[in-house]
Chain A
C-alpha cells in the first residue's frame, strides 16, 4: 500500500472524512486497512462498502461519505475508456465528434431517452459523463483555469423535458400512466444527480479532491443549518423527525428509570424488616413521581426564520406525547394560536399544510414586531403559562427596532417553570443590526440552535 501512493490517498481520504465531521478513530482506520487487505482493490463497489462498514457508523453520515468517496476514488479518469475508444475511431473519420453541436445534442438526447426508458444504469452513467464532457466544459483563459459546469450541461441537454417521452415509453411497456410518470421523474432526477456528481469528479481531477471537498460537499444532515436548509433537505429532515422523537422519548424514559429509586419508604422498610427479626436487610423506596411538563411554544413564523420554524413545529408535533399538554402559538406582529392543529394521532403532512395556511393570521402588517406580539400573547393567552409549564420561544429576536416589551417577557418567564429561547442564528450574529438577542437573553436563557444536533441536545435537556 505504501509505494503506490495508495496510503497517501487513504490517509487524505480519512482526513477529509474527519474534516466533514465524521468521527473516524485510529482503530477504525486500522480496521479499514485490514479489511481492504482481505477484500482486495479490484472492485470499486466492494471497496466502497468496505470503507463504509469500517468507518461510517451512523446512517446520517453516509451521504457525506459517498460524496467524498466519489471524489477520492473516482469512477474513472477524464472521459473514461469509452471516450478514448471513440476518439480512436474518430481519427479515421477525421471528424471530431466530441464537439458541441446541434446534431450531437439531438443524438445524445435520443440515446438518453432510450436509456431512461429502459433504466439501464451503466448506460446512464456513461451518458452522464458524456453529457458533461461535451456540453459542460467551460474553457478557461489558460491552463488550469478551465472548469466543468453541471448547470450548463443540464441546461443544454435539459433532461427534464424528456420526462413526458420516457413516461410514454414506459406506458407502452405496460405501466399505468401515473406510475410511469413517477418512475420517469425519478430516473430523470437520478440522471441529474449523476451529472452533478460527474462535474464534481472532473473538477476534483483538475483542482484536487481537497479543494472540492471544501466547497462542494454538503454537511451531514444533523449539522445542516436549519435556516439555510433547502426544500429537499427539509424533506429529509422530516423523515428524521419520528426516529428523533422516538430516540428522545426512549432516552428520557431510560434516564427516568435509572433514577427510579426515590426517597426511603420507612413504613415499607420497617414492615419488611419484621421477617428478618427487625434488621432492615432490604430497603424500600418510594416510587419517583415523574413530573409531566406542559409545553407552551411561541414560534416566530416571519420569512427570515420560516424554515427553522417549520422544522421546530414538526418536532413539537412529534414530541407532544412527551408532554401532557402542548400549546403552540405563531407570531409575526400579532399572535395566533395553532394548538388545534396538533391533534393526537394526526397526520404530520396534513398538520404542516394546515399550519402553513394559518401563517398569515399571525401577521397584521407583515413586519416582525416582538414587542407587540408578546404583549398580545400575555393579554390574550396569558393563562396558558402557569407554574407547571415550560415556555419555549423560537425566533431570531430581530424586531425591526420596535418596542421589545421586556417587562412582559420578564413576567412570563417568571411565571413559567422554565423558559427557553431558541435562536436559529449563529451566536456571532446576535446583537448585530436589529437583533435584540442579549436584551431578551438576559431574561430568558437563549440557546443557539442551528442544526439537528443542537436541537436534539436541547430537547433532551428540556424534558429532563
Chain B
C-alpha cells in the first residue's frame, strides 16, 4: 500500500492511536470500550463521518460531546426531526434584511449592483452544517437522530459528508478549511440509505457489560455505595434478559442510582427494587412481567 495516511491538510490530529482515544475519552468521563476507541480514532485519522447506531440511552450523543471535550473542540449540533429542510440545516438568505437593503438603496443604483450586493456574506444566515464547515477552529459536528429526517435530507447530507463542501448557487462552493469530526447518531427506526452508510464508519453501541456499567454508574453518581452499584447493575442485567418492550438503558441505570441515593436506600433488595421499578421500566406490562419473573412480590 503506497501511503497509509490520507492527505493531511492542516488539520487537528484528534487521537494518536486507539488506546489514546480510550484514555482521553476516559479522562473527560466517557468510559469507552476498545471498539469505540478504535472507531473514534479512525474517524479522526481518516476524516470520515462516524455513524453511531444503538438503542436509546446508551451514550451515542454523549460520545460526540466527549470527543469535543477530549480534543478541546467546539460542538455544533444539528438536531434532526421530521420536516427538517435545507433552510434549517444548511443556510438561508436573510430576506428581511435583503428587503430593507433594496428599499434603502437609491433609485439611481443599477439593479445588477443591488443584486450583487444582497447576495453576500452579510445577508447569509448560516445553519449548523454550513457553520461547522466554515469554522477555522477544531469542530465536532453532531447530527443527532438522522433516522428522524425525511429521505431528502439524506441527499443533502451526502455532499456535506463526502466532500465537506456546500454549494450555494449565488456564492459558489464553500469548502471546509478544516474538516470537522462528524458524528451521526441513529436509533435505527429507519434504515438509512446505502449511500449515506457507505460514506460513514459504522459503530454499534450496545448495553455495556456489567463491569463497565458499574464503572459508568459510579462515575456518574459517585455518592452511590459500591455494594449498591453492584446490586443495581445485576438487577438491570436481569431486566435486560427479560423480553421487555423497552429494556432499561444506561441512562435509566444512572437515573435509578440517583433515585436510590435520594431515597437513601442502602441495600437494593427485592422490596426496594419493587418500589423503585418505575424509574427503569416505562410500560405497565413490562413492570408486571418484571415483578413476575424476578419474583419480587412473594
Contact with A along B35-58 (1 / 0, CB 8 A): 100110110011010010100000
* B194 proximal to A (CB < 8 A): yes
The answer to whether B1 touches A33 (Cβ under 8 A) is yes
Asked whether any CB of chain A lies closer than 8 Å to the CB of B115, the reply is no
Is the Cβ of A242 less than 8 Å from the Cβ of B245? yes
B242 to chain A, nearest CB (A): 8
Contact B190 A250 (CB under 8 A): yes
Min CB–CB distance B73 → chain A (angstroms): 20
Residues of A within 8 A of B42 (CB): 35, 38-39, 50, 53-54
A33-B1, A39-B18, A258-B150 known; A53-B189 Cβ under 8 A: no
Docked-complex contact A49 and B285, CB < 8 angstroms: no
From A49, A345, A347, B34 is in contact (CB under 8 Å) with A49
CB–CB A37/B245 < 8 A: no
* B157 close to A (CB within 8 Å): no
Contact stretch, chosen from A21-29, A91-99, A103-111, A292-300: A21-29
Contact A31 B234 (CB under 8 A): no
| Minimum CB distance partner of A176 in chain B | B234
Complex Cα–Cα for A34 and B4 (A): 6
Contacts of A45 in B (CB 8 A): 34
The reply on B121 being an interface residue by CB < 8 A is: no
Residue A417 CB within 8 A of the other chain: no
Q: Which residues of B contact A251 (CB under 8 A)?
A: 190
* A37 in contact with B189 (CB, 8 Å): no
Q: How far is the CA of A2 from the CA of B1 in the complex (A)?
A: 7
Q: Which residues of A contact B151 (CB under 8 A)?
A: 254
A38 and B5: CB pair below 8 A? Answer: yes
Q: Does A87 contact B (CB under 8 A)?
A: no
Q: How far is the CA of A27 from the CA of B51 in the complex (A)?
A: 16
Q: Which residues of A contact B53 (CB under 8 A)?
A: 59
The stretch that binds A, out of B84-92, B169-177, B198-206, is B198-206
Indicate whether B191 reaches chain A with its CB closer than 8 angstroms.
yes
Q: Across the interface, do A38 and B202 meet the contact criterion of CB distance under 8 Å?
A: no
Judge whether B46 and A57 touch: CB under 8 Å.
Answer: no
* A114 close to B (CB within 8 Å): no
| B282 sits at the interface (CB 8 A) | no
CA distance A31 to B197 in the complex (A): 12
Question: In the complex, how many angstroms separate the beta carbon of A238 from the nearest chain B beta carbon?
Answer: 7
* B82 interfacial by beta-carbon distance below 8 Å: yes
Q: Which residues of A contact B201 (CB under 8 A)?
A: 31, 35, 53-54
Distance, CA A348 to CA B246, complexed state (A): 12
Q: Is the CB of A346 within 8 A of B285?
A: yes
Tell me the bound Cα distance from A179 to B237 in angstroms: 11
Chain A min CB distance to B198 (Å) = 6
**Interface size class, chain A:** 35 or more
- Cβ contacts under 8 Å, A1 to chain B: 1
Alpha-carbon distance A246/B148, docked complex (angstroms): 12
B4–A49 CB distance below 8 A: no
Q: Is the CB of B45 within 8 A of A38?
A: yes
CB-CB contacts of B95-106 with A at 8 A, as 1s and 0s?
000000000000
**A243 on the B face (CB < 8 A):** yes
- B38 near A49 with CB under 8 A, answer yes
Given contacts A34-B6, A39-B41, contact A46 B34 (CB under 8 A): yes
CA distance A52 to B203 in the complex (A): 8
Contact A52–B202 (Cβ < 8 Å): yes
Q: Are B18 and A46 in contact (CB under 8 A)?
A: yes
Indicate whether A427 reaches chain B with its CB closer than 8 angstroms: no
In the complex, which residues 220-264 of chain B have their Cβ closer than 8 Å to any Cβ of chain A?
234, 238, 243, 245
Chain A residue at minimum C-beta to C-beta distance from B54: A59
Scan residues 236-262 of chain A and give those whose CB is less than 8 A from a CB of chain B.
238-239, 242-243, 246-247, 250-251, 254, 257-258
Q: Convert B10-41 into 0s and 1s, putting 1 for each residue whose CB lies closer than 8 angstroms to a CB of A.
A: 00000001100000000000000011001101
Q: Does B284 contact A (CB under 8 A)?
A: yes
In the complex, what residue of chain A is closest to B18 when comparing beta carbons?
Answer: A46
**Is A56 engaged at the interface, CB distance under 8 Å to the other chain?**
yes
Q: Given A46-B34, A53-B42, A346-B285, answer yes or no on A37-B5 (Cβ-Cβ < 8 Å).
A: yes
Across-interface contacts of B39 in A (CB, < 8 A): 49, 53
The complex places the Cα of A53 from the Cα of B201 at a distance, in Å, of: 5
A49 to B34, CA, bound (A): 8
- Rounded to whole Å, the gap between the CB of B264 and the closest CB of chain A is 24
Assess whether B194 is in contact with A23, with CB atoms less than 8 Å apart: yes
Q: How far is the CA of A228 from the CA of B28 in the complex (A)?
A: 49
Name the distance in Å between B294's Cβ and chain A's nearest Cβ. 10
Tell me, in angstroms, the Cα distance from A62 to B35 when the chains sit together: 13
**Looking across the interface, which residue of chain A has its beta carbon closest to that of B48?**
A31
The distance in angstroms between the C-alpha atoms of A304 and B60, with both chains bound, is 44
Neighbouring B residues of A239 by C-beta, 8 Å: 243
Q: A31-B46, A39-B18, A62-B204 are known contacts. Are A347 and B234 too (CB-CB below 8 A)?
A: no
Interface check A349, CB cutoff 8 A: yes
The one of A28, A52, A62, A250 in contact with B198, judged by C-beta atoms closer than 8 angstroms, is: A28
State whether A179 and B46 are in contact (beta carbons under 8 Å apart), knowing that A54-B201, A246-B189 are contacts in the complex.
no
Whole-angstrom distance between the Cβ of B214 and the nearest chain A Cβ = 15
Residues of B within 8 A of A52 (CB): 35, 202
A332 to chain B, nearest CB (A): 27
Closest B residue, CB atoms, query A348: B243
- Bound together, the chains give a CA A407 to CA B147 distance in angstroms of 47
A346 to B191, CA, bound (A): 27
Across-interface contacts of A254 in B (CB, < 8 A): 82, 150-151, 190
Q: Mark A6-31, 1 if CB is under 8 A from B, else 0.
A: 00000000000000000101011001
Which 4 pairs show the lowest CB-CB distances between chains A and B?
A: A37-B4, A57-B197, A49-B38, A38-B45
Q: List 12 A-B contacts (CB under 8 A).
A: A23-B194, A27-B198, A27-B199, A34-B4, A37-B5, A39-B38, A53-B42, A62-B204, A247-B190, A254-B82, A254-B190, A257-B82
